[in-house]
Every structure is written in structure tokens, then in C-alpha cells.
């Protein structure tokens, strides 16, 4: 380690930029393909319909639950465990002219007729299709507005090569996080959308710190090559990046394991987003900037000529 620190490059992050770039391209392509084919598993907040949480006295057999609901005309019901094997969630598509309370009563009757045990309704929620469509529109506008504001900020703050790298890292993080939910079929609801917006903020904050240090290092060390400069800048910010990421991950792990099913999607999106955001700040933003040929001359501040500097001095 001491020998590494004495060199101009410090830790050789950019030595692996080719491998990391290939991995990122594969993951982005896979995410886009899954989003095109599988799309997102939108939750009740976006699709509309009825959500019921049902508690059993003993572990519930999901196949028997589905069969009982199918026999009563609820073949479209989505059934899954909710936290424990005794609790299940049932999601139904919107039904015109049928109140949520009546749906709950019908489902409880069908389950009590199938299972010889106590079955109780824990909660029931109803979201109309119009409200679901409104949530999709407003959620999309919120994300688009956040991205546009960030893009404007990046464009004004950095030279265009670093700005393109920062934008690429941000797009990389958003696509991979959405791809994770699409590939695994995880439910995408309003809490996950809020987590995605938080991931955007975390990612761009980390990337801005890295890009700032790259710019300062270019201006400070004239004899280093671009790759050596980027390696030195990344090494200098490594401790800050690791401390920030690890402390955030510790909190998110607590939410993931102890926060309960309602916050599970939120914690999953943030956990993945923080990890992938840290990675993109190191490899995506820097690699893209180097690919566009960033150099010390591009980042040096413009010298402002003082008024009267070209005039002859007074005798």
C-alpha cells in the first residue's frame, strides 16, 4: 500500500475501466430488454383495484387460496405471502359496480369455506383506475422534472466532458434500478418511486463530489496523464465515498430486514441504488469523461485580462 501511495496514480481504478464498462453495458441492455418485454409490475397505487390483507390461524397454502378464489369467480386475483406464512395479500383488478367492502366479504366467505380455520380481514384498500392513471402521470412528471433540473445544474457546473460523464452515470443508475424491479417482478408502487427519486439525488451528489475532485486534481498536477489524474482524484475521495455509502447501507439494511413488508420495496430500491450509484460515480462518470478526451487544458479556469493591462506604464 505504501508503494502505491508514493506513485502518481495512487489506486489504479482506471486499469479496470474496460471490464467494468462491458459489465455495465450488459446490465443496461438486459434492463432495457426486461423493461420492454416484462415491463414493471405496477402496484395498486398505479393500476387501481382492491388490495386485501388476510390473516390465517395456520400457514396458508397459496395454491388452495388461488383455487378457492378461482371457483368463486376471482381468477384474476394475485395472491402472495405478506411477511409471514400466515398472512397473505390478495390484489384484484378494478370491478365496476362492486364496492370494496362487498369484495372483502365475498373473498372471506370463499376462504372460510375452503379452510377449516380462523380467517380474518386485516385491512382492505381500494384505488380507482382514474386515480391510478393520475399517479402514473404525476410520478412520471416528478421524475422527469427532477432529471431536467439535475441536467441543467450539471451543464452549468462542469465542463461538458465531465457533465456528459455525470449524466451517463445518472442514467445508468436509474435504468439498472428499474431493470432490477422488472427482472425480479418486484412490485413498483409509490414508495419505490420515492426511493428512485432519492437514488437520483444520492447518485448525483456522489458524482458531483468525484467530478469536482477530478477537476481540482487536473488543475493542481500538470505533469500527470489524464488516467493518472483520475486515479489520484478517485483515491482522494475513496474514504469519503466509502464512509457515506457504508453508513447509508447500514440504515437501509435495518429497514430492509426490520421495516416490514410495507417498506420492503422502498428499502430494496435504495439499497441497490446506493451500491450502484457508488459504483457509477467511480467508473461510469470517470470512464465517459476519459473517453471524450478530458484534459487539463479543458478544465483550467479562463484568465480574465485586467482593464488597461495592455497599455504602456506611465513614465
Pairing of strands 84-92, 78-82: antiparallel
Which pLDDT belongs to residue 151?
A: 80
Task: Report yes or no on 153 lying in a domain.
Answer: yes
For residues 53 and 164, state if they share a domain: no
Closest C-alpha among 281, 288, 285, 287 to residue 237: 281
For residues 174 and 268, state if they share a domain: yes
Write down the pTM of the prediction. Answer: 0.78
Which pLDDT belongs to residue 59?
A: 87
Which pLDDT belongs to residue 132?
A: 61
User: What is the C-alpha to C-alpha distance for residues 170 and 38, in angstroms, rounded to an integer?
Assistant: 23
Alpha-helical regions (H) of 159-307: 160-184, 190-220, 226-258, 264-291, 296-299
Which pLDDT belongs to residue 7?
A: 46
Which pLDDT belongs to residue 100?
A: 66
Which pLDDT belongs to residue 302?
A: 63
Closest C-alpha among 101, 57, 92, 44 to residue 72: 92
Residue range 233-284, pLDDT digits in tens: 999 998 888 898 999 999 999 999 988 777 889 999 999 999 999 999 999 9
For residues 173 and 207, state if they share a domain: yes
Q: What is the CATH number of the domain that holds 292?
A: 1.20.1640.10
Task: Report yes or no on 68 lying in a domain.
Answer: yes
**What is the domain extent for residue 95?**
49-127
Which pLDDT belongs to residue 130?
A: 62
Please answer whether residues 31 and 301 qualify as being in contact, where contact means their C-beta atoms are separated by less than 8 angstroms.
no
For residues 31 and 179, state if they share a domain: yes
Q: Which residues of the chain have pLDDT under 50?
A: 1-8, 315
For residues 72 and 142, state if they share a domain: no
**Nine-digit cell string for 273:** 441504488
Q: What is the CATH number of the domain that holds 117?
A: 3.30.70.3400
Domain total in the chain: 2
Closest C-alpha among 45, 44, 39, 280 to residue 183: 39
Domain closes at, from 92, 109, 127: 127
Task: Report yes or no on 250 lying in a domain.
Answer: yes
Amino acid at each position: 500500500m505504501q508503494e502505491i501511495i508514493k506513485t502518481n496514480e495512487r489506486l489504479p481504478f482506471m486499469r479496470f475501466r474496460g471490464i467494468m464498462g462491458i459489465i455495465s453495458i450488459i446490465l443496461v441492455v438486459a434492463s432495457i430488454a426486461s423493461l420492454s418485454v416484462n415491463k414493471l409490475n405496477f402496484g395498486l397505487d398505479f393500476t387501481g383495484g382492491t388490495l386485501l390483507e388476510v390473516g390465517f390461524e395456520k400457514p396458508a397454502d397459496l395454491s388452495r387460496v388461488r383455487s378457492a378464489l378461482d371457483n368463486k369467480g376471482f381468477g384474476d386475483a394475485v395472491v402472495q405471502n405478506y411477511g409471514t406464512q400466515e398472512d397473505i395479500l390478495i390484489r384484484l383488478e378494478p370491478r365496476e359496480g362492486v364496492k370494496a367492502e362487498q369484495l372483502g366479504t365475498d373473498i372471506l366467505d370463499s376462504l372460510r369455506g375452503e379452510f377449516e380455520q380462523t380467517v380474518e380481514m386485516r385491512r382492505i384498500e381500494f384505488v380507482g383506475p382514474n386515480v391510478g392513471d393520475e399517479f402514473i402521470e404525476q410520478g412520471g412528471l416528478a421524475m422527469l422534472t427532477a432529471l431536467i433540473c439535475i441536467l441543467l445544474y450539471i451543464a452549468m457546473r462542469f465542463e461538458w466532458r465531465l457533465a456528459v460523464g455525470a449524466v451517463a452515470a445518472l442514467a445508468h443508475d436509474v435504468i439498472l434500478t428499474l431493470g432490477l424491479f422488472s427482472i425480479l417482478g418486484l412490485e413498483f408502487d409509490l414508495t419505490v418511486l420515492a426511493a428512485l427519486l432519492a437514488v437520483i439525488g444520492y447518485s448525483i451528489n456522489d458524482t458531483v463530489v468525484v467530478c469536482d475532485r477530478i477537476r481540482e486534481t487536473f488543475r493542481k498536477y500538470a505533469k500527470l496523464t489524464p488516467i493518472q489524474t483520475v486515479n489520484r482524484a478517485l483515491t482522494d475521495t475513496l474514504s469519503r465515498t466509502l464512509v457515506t455509502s457504508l453508513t447509508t447501507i447500514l440504515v437501509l439494511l435495518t429497514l430492509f430486514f426490520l421495516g416490514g413488508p410495507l417498506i420492503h420495496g422502498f428499502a430494496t430500491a435504495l439499497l441497490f441504488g446506493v451500491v450502484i450509484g457508488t459504483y457509477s460515480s467511480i467508473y461510469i462518470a470517470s470512464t465517459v469523461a476519459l473517453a471524450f478526451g478530458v484534459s487539463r487544458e479543458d478544465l483550467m479556469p479562463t484568465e480574465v485580462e485586467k482593464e488597461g493591462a495592455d497599455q504602456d506604464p506611465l513614465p
